[in-house]
Amino acid sequence: MNALELINIGSSKLKIKQIGSHKLDSEILLSKVLNKRREEMLVNLDQMIMPEKISAFNKLINRRSNNEPIAYIIKEKEFWSKLFFVNKDTLIPRPETELMVEHIVKMFEEKSISILDIGTGSGCILISLISELRYSRGIGIDISKKALSVAEKNAKNYKLEKQIRFLNKSFEDLKNCKFDLIVSNPPYIETQAIENLDDDIKNFEPIMALDGGNDGLDVIRKVIYKSQSILKNNGTLALEIGNEQYIKVSKILKKNNFKILKYIKDYKENIRCLISKLIR
């Protein structure tokens, strides 16, 4: 059996399971099995595939058929033009988060700042920022040891372990430290709304990193409140938020002495990030 035939078989199996990206997913999974770039594989579709590779491919297709995200199957996700190792202990990096990174990089380009990433997960935000802000240093904090092991692996992969430290503790326990920038993509989904999420999210991604409490703002409130005591004067707080949460979050920020500098929209024109400054 050649590559094209195998891709079509995999695509058909995924299509039956109503996987919208069935063709692309099939191509990605076969390229993973063959250990080749997808583009390299696609210019040689008549190559014959060995039986053991076919078996391995079918196993991956079966996993995808059960709605397991591609990123967890191949254990990587592209973010900020970098490949990050991911697994079920971390959220999968999203394109809208790159928009927040982009704005922060423009704000602090060529500056030397201290950064705290609250709920660092895979470390994709902090690692992307430090890779651009080469004079800066950062701390990634998370209550999940397993998530931190993923972040540490990614930092080492990009040789940034000297500029980044990771702490396994709650951000609420931080004392005697001050930062120029705090960035966070906290849990912001309402508890009751989690059951309505797509299967590939609610059945595979860590619920702890999704559940923002009854109104989705539990952790956001805590981050804002704590940031008052650990940000330097005129320090910056960048928060990713859920769709339609910006009005409520804006009020919480203003109540806690923050001035909003920027509302960042996602690709669907929804406000998904707020950048603010602490005014004392």
Per DSSP bridges, beta strands 231-240 and 179-184 are parallel
Nearest 5°: phi and psi at 66? -90, 15
The predicted structure's pLDDT at residue 158: 97
Residues 22-45 pLDDT 10s: 999 999 999 999 999 999 999 989
Residues 76-127 pLDDT 10s: 999 999 999 999 999 999 999 999 999 999 999 989 999 999 999 999 999 9
CB contact at 8 A, 247 and 271: no
> pTM here?
0.93
One fold for both 3-66 and 77-278? no
The correct answer on CATH 3.30.1310.10 for the domain covering 77-278 is no
Angle at 65 between CA 187 and CA 94, to 5 degrees: 30
Domain boundaries, the chain: 3-66, 77-278
| CATH architecture type of domain 3-66 | Orthogonal Bundle (1.10)
Evaluate the CA torsion angle 191, 196, 202, 203 in order and state its sign: positive
The predicted structure's pLDDT at residue 280: 77
User: What is the pLDDT averaged over residues 235-257?
Assistant: 96
Residue among 30, 19, 11 nearest 68 (CA): 19
| Separation of alpha carbons 205 and 212, rounded Å | 14
Cβ-based neighbours of 264, under 8 Å, separated by 6 or more: 99, 100, 103, 271, 272, 273, 274, 275
Secondary structure tally for the chain: helices H, strands E: 11, 9
| DSSP bridge pairs for 117 | 140, 183
Please list, residue by residue across 70-88, b when 16 or more beta carbons sit within 10 angstroms of its beta carbon and e when fewer do: bbbbbebbebbebebbbbb
CB contact at 8 A, 41 and 30: yes
Judged against a pLDDT cut of 90, whether residue 186 lies above it is answered with yes
Block residue for tokens 């191949």: 74
Block residue for tokens 């400054």: 277
